[in-house]
Structure 1
């Protein structure tokens, strides 16, 4: 099918294409630099097309379905004045890329860093991120994952209310700003991922229904009208959505996409939309000569998300592993079980390490049904794990990060549990230095009724979390401003210590061969008592071993060193003086070297890592 959008062809020529299968006519309304109204030609698939002379980048235009009223282009590449105003012609070929030698990074080598453009810096722009990249590299972070940047109403939003999937938010810096950021990242060895939303579009500025049957009432979506992936006229909708990943990869040189809540997309067609996207991206991959990664947020707890479409899967590279977060968080925060009633056992964290999904067919009281399927045998680099993300903080009334909920010793445990795991880790912006500023949910709508609906919906949607206070007003500017990072904190005190702790863990993860092994056969977690865990990892040849000993309790825990190696060398000790905010007198003696079966006392809230080798 044709691609929708305004494609600048050079020499003042531009081809405009819009999909509107049930309209009798379509008028292209050019409004700047000179006003013209031009009739477009239709085809049998419902596309209207017109190639226009003397039309240059910067030209502003609307479409007039049936010649009646101006609306922005549904496939607009740029909305310079916001979601309600005219669309603008841009020339993607005009940008001079300097990343010709960039071929991406192996997925298993990534340490992802989720960030929100508007709150990462005081300026809230793509350009303002660039000076901070060096410090991210020094920490060991090599992939940023941008929360959605598709054009949304106003200048502050999480991004999940985007209404123009092809247009980059104007207040962030628009198309040019995103390209500058990606170019700068690649120059520093940083991959760039983008969060995209195909389960719904936001309400304000959403004019797609004026053009065609983009939505359906056959299904329901928690956040807006369900997208029409399998009903009448759905071919055009499927093309509109499935071409969007190609657009980001080709014109913005992105390395990967994170697909929001794929479980909220319903498609009962013979070829699921995820399979269609997978096929298109693989073809583009061959043409571009580099890997293009597709990752998913999924509530299915099903291995089919990462299986190849040839065997009935969706074809994603990896999926977020929420069960890992839930199992670990409840062990770190005594109040955690109030939010995650089906978690709280050390055996569940062990299962998260050994298999992946904790809920793999068991009855789950939160859902009042059985949930999930086994992921045993799915390689570790097909899961993304985290201790914090935008949802975990934003879905609290006070927007608390993990750093506000637990103490420093527990934060060290959390970071080690994450970065020593056989999975691809993700940090949320500021987590590496224990940022304490909240991360709230915020919007900047202009429709008063919609603002009221968002406020009320916010209160009702999360009533089950038993908030003790009311959440701040999502519409208030102050809510947005209070969510910005305090970057200077990373240089002193507890924050500097935790930053160095993350650096050390990431460096160990990147340099030790055992931590670069993702086969489930090379990982085994064992429960020690009720609050201890021994994570055993080894190379595939069985010659190199690591044991990571975790004590989540407030008391010492006896632990005999196993006999997988005759000798053990201590390589990381969270109780060492260098990792203490204040010097402590510890009773336990931690041996730097020990023989197999040596019994040691694991201090409270501690992680120790020992290295062992077998000689041939």
Structure 2
């Protein structure tokens, strides 16, 4: 049986497809126009690579599988043979969703897709509706975060490869969970990146913090954009994924009249309409620009039509309020009004205001009539905000349990789409650190030195875990045996309750801009009052905080020291209550030890 092989190599003089894991059999390819080369031949054992102008063979840029790693031969995969059982799946819209971010390689000791399947029932019981996988495109070595992927069409083999991913998505759909995938198009990793050998995939006209920028607007960029668009279609159609999180779209430098992001949004919408299953694209963007998620060409904004975007300002304001940390970019969020602004009015604290960290004005106002609050994904913790700390320490490792619970209440009663980071829901004891598995000593040492330098610049002191040490990934792997015990079980029950209330209490669907947040002194700390329709969240922040508030409504749920004393709501330090109905106002505030 003959199989067609194709490669885009517009500058090549001759191309061979090398068959077999050892590449011993070479078959010449012929140019067929547009810079493409083609050959049809017996696939032998299914392994193949391309030799361009006599150079050593390299993997297929569109390889679906790399069984022996990113430096070895590719392998043929027929995704149409996957054994799907999700024919009745109708998807999960972004509006009303709750997202759970996880890293396949540290979510379970198995470090595989099948390992994730074992704990999907935990996520259903928790009350989230979307599982967001950190990148699974093939990257060097066995373990890593995945943001240095180099074979963007292949599924990381140590996780279980293409079939393993299909099994996970199918199993999630059977439980009512949507699956999103984090994808990285703004750069590729340095090890195993062979794209430049075949065509002008990169350009020196633009630069990113991570290296060469993808060529989205220069000569030859039509096929580069097709490479990205076809990749998105593959994930959404061949793997039945419900959405993609687009990494750092501000680094997708594109000066065309029709930006790539608009094309991606149109493609996802077309697939969603054709399949009857919503396909969601969520951008990570540093620009604080609501046009990212505004409808295409809406209201003169020139909206890019993506469905959602991360709102890191919400994280930063919550983090500063809960921890008191103000180093680096947290400095801007020491502003007393930051928390109230991002919990009620806008996901962007910087919406045209001056940023001391950047030394300039930053961001743009959000119009809730054009971009409702649910289009912004907000969090207390993410892989970035935990893993890019020197020791990978989680929020609960540095503050009292009650304060972490308070933070969860503020997030999960906010107008934004909430996202949790794996293990957050039970206050996991494990850190989540940065780890790699590079074979090149120079690259490993460069990463070590770069992270130490970055932490020093941000004022973080202490020893930085070695990313190459096997113990670093071991330390970052969740310990599921702790879930049902002590404070872990208490916090997990709290998260479950808040996620359930988010679905059940109409007040928590109050539109953006119609809530109210008040911060005022209370004992040796402060009282935070959040009004969302008929729902109030009352929280005392600080180890010496305490408050007594006349109560006319009923306590729905609480964490910490909370009592209803004959119509008086009494809160101790670092405590929080969700009240349905309106208290008569803060009064008689008193300190608590």
Q: How far has the Cα of 1:88 moved from its partner?
A: 0.3
Using the alignment, how far apart are the partners of 1:151 and 1:445 within structure 2? 13
Residue 511 of structure 1 pairs with residue 480 of structure 2: no
When residues 344 and 82 of structure 1 are mapped into structure 2, their CA distance, relative to the original with a 3 A threshold, is same
Aligned partners of 1:500 and 1:558: how far apart in 2?
A: 25
**Alpha carbons of structure 1 residues 478 and 351: separation in structure 2 relative to 1, 3 Å:** same
Q: How does 1:260-275 map to 2 (within 5 A)?
A: 260-275=247-262
Aligned counterpart in structure 1 of residue 564 of structure 2, from 579, 590, 593: 590
Match of 2:211 in 1: 224
- Contact 1:346 1:532 (8 Å CA) reproduced: no
The aligned residue for residue 355 of structure 2 is: 364
> Structure 1 pair 518/297, CA: closer, same or farther in 2 (3 Å)?
farther
Q: Deviations over 1:305-329 (max 9, x none)?
A: 1012223122211111111111111
Any residues of structure 2 matched to 1:303-452 within 5 Å, and which?
A: 303-311=290-298, 312-336=302-326, 340-353=330-343, 354-377=345-368, 378-452=371-445
Q: How far apart are residue 42 of structure 1 and its match?
A: 2.0
Question: What corresponds to 2:555 in structure 1?
Answer: 570
Secondary structure, counterpart of 1:357 in structure 2: coil
**Number of aligned residue pairs:** 573
- What does the per-residue CA deviation read over 1:178-232, in whole Å, with 9 as the maximum and x for residues that have no partner? 0011111111111111100011000000001110111111111111211111111
Equivalent in 16, 26, 51 of residue 27 of structure 1:
16
5+ residue gaps, structure 2, are: 583-593
Q: Does 1:532 align with 2:532?
A: no
Moved more, 340-349 or 215-224: 340-349
Q: Are positions 1:14 and 2:3 aligned together?
A: yes
Structure 2 counterpart of 1:523, from 511, 515, 532:
515
Larger mean Cα displacement after TM superposition, 457-466 or 205-214: 457-466
1:102-127 deviation per Cα after TM superposition (whole angstroms, max 9, x unaligned):
01112123221111111111110111
Aligned 8 A contact 1:551 1:604 in 2: yes
Q: Please state how far the C-alpha of 1:556 moved relative to its aligned partner.
A: 2.0
Report the equivalent of 2:40.
51
Check the 8 A contact 2:527/2:546 in 1, yes or no: no
Work out whether residues 94 and 375 of structure 2, in 8 Å CA contact, stay in contact via their aligned partners in 1: no
Secondary structure of 1:467's partner? Answer: coil
TM, length-normalised to structure 2: 0.93
The alignment status of 1:213 with 2:200, answered yes or no, reads: yes
Aligned twin of 1:8: none
Q: Is 1:64 matched up with 2:64?
A: no
Could you tell me whether the CA contact under 8 Å between 2:346 and 2:513 is conserved in 1?
no
Matches of 1:458 and 1:573, distance apart in 2: 40
Distance 2:140 2:52 in 1: 22
2: CA distance between counterparts of 1:197 and 1:15? 28
1:376 Cα deviation from its structure 2 partner:
4.3
The residue aligned with 1:7 is none
Residue of structure 2 equivalent to 1:4: none
Alpha-carbon distance in structure 2 between the residues aligned to 1:168 and 1:256: 16
SS at match of 1:284: helix
- Does residue 162 of structure 1 match 2:145? no
CA-CA distance at 1:381 after TM superposition: 0.7
Structure 2 contact 396–427 (Cα < 8 Å) conserved: yes
Rounded to whole Å, the distance in 2 between the matches of 1:289 and 1:501 is: 35
CA distance in 2, matches of 1:394, 1:279: 33
Residue 337 of structure 1: how far off its partner (Å): 5.0
CA distance in 1: counterparts of 2:539 and 2:580, whole angstroms: 15
Change (3 A) 1:104 1:518: farther
Q: Is the 8 A contact 2:353 2:362 kept in 1?
A: yes
**For 1:218 and 1:154, how far apart are their aligned partners in 2?**
31
Aligned to 1:492: 485
| Rounded Cα–Cα distance in structure 1 between residues aligned with 2:365 and 2:112 | 42
Are the counterparts in 1 of residues 329 and 357 from structure 2 also a CA contact under 8 Å? Answer: no
Instruction: Find 2:105's aligned residue among 118, 121, 129.
Output: 118
TM superposition shift of 1:557 = 3.4
Q: Which residue in 2 is equivalent to 1:6?
A: none
User: C-alpha displacement at 1:446, in angstroms?
Assistant: 0.8
| Secondary structure, aligned partner of 1:145 | strand
Secondary structure class of the residue paired with 1:531: strand
1 CA distance for matches of 2:219 and 2:264?
Answer: 20
Q: In the alignment, which residue of structure 2 is the partner of 1:149?
A: 136
Match of 2:576 in 1: 607
What residue in structure 2 maps to residue 288 of structure 1?
275
Q: 1:582 maps to what in 2?
A: none
Counterpart Cα distance in 1 of 2:107 and 2:463: 25
TM-score by length of 1: 0.89
Unaligned runs of 5+ in 1: 1-11, 539-544, 562-566, 577-585
Give the SS at the match of 1:323: helix
User: For residues 297 and 511 of structure 1, what CA distance do their matches in structure 2 show?
Assistant: 29
Distance across 1 between alignment mates of 2:316 and 2:8? 43
More off after superposition, 74-83 vs 567-576: 567-576
After TM superposition, the structure 1 stretch with the greater mean CA deviation from structure 2, 280-289 or 249-258, is: 280-289
The residue matched to 1:64 in structure 2 has which SS? strand
* Counterpart Cα distance in 1 of 2:572 and 2:327: 24
